[in-house]
Structure 1
C-alpha cells in the first residue's frame, strides 16, 4: 500500500483550495487546508507535513512571511509558492527566502502534482549523500551545512542542492539550462535571475578558501574550480 503523505495547503480562495485538495487526495496525499497564513502555521506545527504549498497573497500572514518563519525552524521542508505575481523581484524574493518552486496562476493540477513529486523525490535522495570535501571546506549535504575549520554555515534547501551539483561536476561546466530545469523546473529569465542570486550567496560562503572559485562560463553555465 502506498504511503500517505501529509501536505499543508494554504489558499484563501475556498473553491480553488477545495479543488486542489480533492485532486491531491486522489494521489495518496493527505491535504490539510488553511485559508490564511496563521492557520497554515498552526497546521505546520501540529501536522509535521512533508511539503508546503503556499499561496503568496493571503490574509493575516502572506506566503512569503510564513515561509520566512518556517525556515527559521526547518531549512529542509520543500515549499511551493502559488502566485499571480510575475514581477522578477517577486519571483527572486520567493526563492531567496527559501522557496523551492513556484507556480503562476492559473496552473494545471498535473503540473502541480509533478512538481510536488519531484521535490519529495529530491528530498528523499539527499539523505543518502555523503559529506563532500570542497577545498578546505566540508559540505554535509544531508544536513545542509558547510563547515570551514570551526565555523559552520547553514545552507538553504536550494543552496545545498545547487552546491551539490557544482561539487559533483567539479572542474567541469555545469550546464545552466539543465540545472535550471532540474532545480527550478524551467530555464526562463526569472529562474535564471534567481539562480544568479544563489550563486552569489555561495561564493560569499566559500570565500574563506581562496583556491575555490565559481566561474561564470558565459553562454554555458557555471564551473566550480578548486
Structure 2
C-alpha cells in the first residue's frame, strides 16, 4: 500500500517516512500543499497524511479541493493545533481522521490501519494468503506447505499487491505506480524482472499458485489443478 506524506517540517517528514517504510508501506514525501494536491490527483495513493500548516496551500485547502475533485482517498490530518474547531473543520471538509502533534507512534499506526480498513483495503497485520501460499509481510517470508523462502522488499510488495487484488488483473503501470511511485524512473522491465524472480521462487516451493500473464493487460494470480 502507498502513502503520501505532506509535511513541511523536513525532519518530521523523514522520520514518518522511515517509520512507515519499516511497516512495509510504500511512501512518497512532499513539503508543500500544492505538491500534495498534484501528487494526490494521481489516484495512486491508499492514504494521505496531510499537515494542516503548509506553504502554498494549507491542508484544509488541499483536502477541500481533493474532495471537490471527487478524490475519495482516505485522509488523516496532522497538526500542532488541537482545538475543537480545527478538528470540526477538517472533518467537515472530508478528513477521515485527525491527529494532533505530538502524537504516539503506535496511535498513528493504528489510525492508519483503521482508515485503510474503512476504505475496504486488506490491511495485513502479519500475513496474507492465496491458494497454498502465505506471505508474511513483516518478516518478508513466503511459505508453502511448511517450506519457506526469504523475499526481498520489492518481491514482497509485488506479491502482496497481487494477493490483495486476488483475481483482479494488475497492469504493469499499476505496479510501477504502487511500488515505485508515479514520478519514478522505473520501467516495464523492472516489473518483469521481479515477476520472473517470484515465478522461480513459487516453482521452487512447488506451489499450486502461479502468476499468469494476461497479454496486453497485466498479471493475475491463479491456482493450478
What TM-score comes out, normalization by structure 1 length?
0.51
Runs of 4+ in 1 over 4 A off after TM superposition: none
Aligned to 2:86: 90
Question: Could you list the per-position Cα deviations for residues 39-89 of structure 1 after superposition, in whole angstroms to 9, with x for gaps in the alignment?
Answer: 111211236201110000000000000000010123532110001112221
Unaligned runs of 5+ in 2: 122-225
Unaligned runs of 5+ in 1: 126-226
- Cα distance in structure 1, aligned partners of 2:93 and 2:62: 10
Partners of 1:32 and 1:43 within 8 A in 2: no
Aligned length, in residue pairs: 122
List aligned pairs for 1:10-25, cutoff 5 A.
10-25=6-21
- Cα distance in structure 1, aligned partners of 2:102 and 2:69: 31
1:53 aligned onto 2:61: no
List aligned pairs for 1:163-178, cutoff 5 A.
none
Partners of 2:79 and 2:99 within 8 A in 1: yes
- Cα distance in structure 2, aligned partners of 1:50 and 1:36: 19
Aligned to 1:71: 67
Q: Aligned to 2:34, which of 21, 32, 38?
A: 38
- Cα distance in structure 1, aligned partners of 2:65 and 2:10: 24
1:81 aligned onto 2:77: yes
Aligned to 2:119: 123
List aligned pairs for 1:104-115, cutoff 5 A.
104-115=100-111
Question: Could you list the per-position Cα deviations for residues 75-117 of structure 1 after superposition, in whole angstroms to 9, with x for gaps in the alignment?
Answer: 5321100011122211110100101101110012221111011
Partners of 2:41 and 2:66 within 8 A in 1: no
- Cα distance in structure 2, aligned partners of 1:70 and 1:47: 10
Partners of 1:6 and 1:47 within 8 A in 2: no
Partners of 1:13 and 1:35 within 8 A in 2: yes
Aligned to 1:144: none
- CA 1:62–1:82 in 2, change beyond 3 Å: closer, same or farther? same
Aligned to 2:189: none
What TM-score comes out, normalization by structure 2 length?
0.52
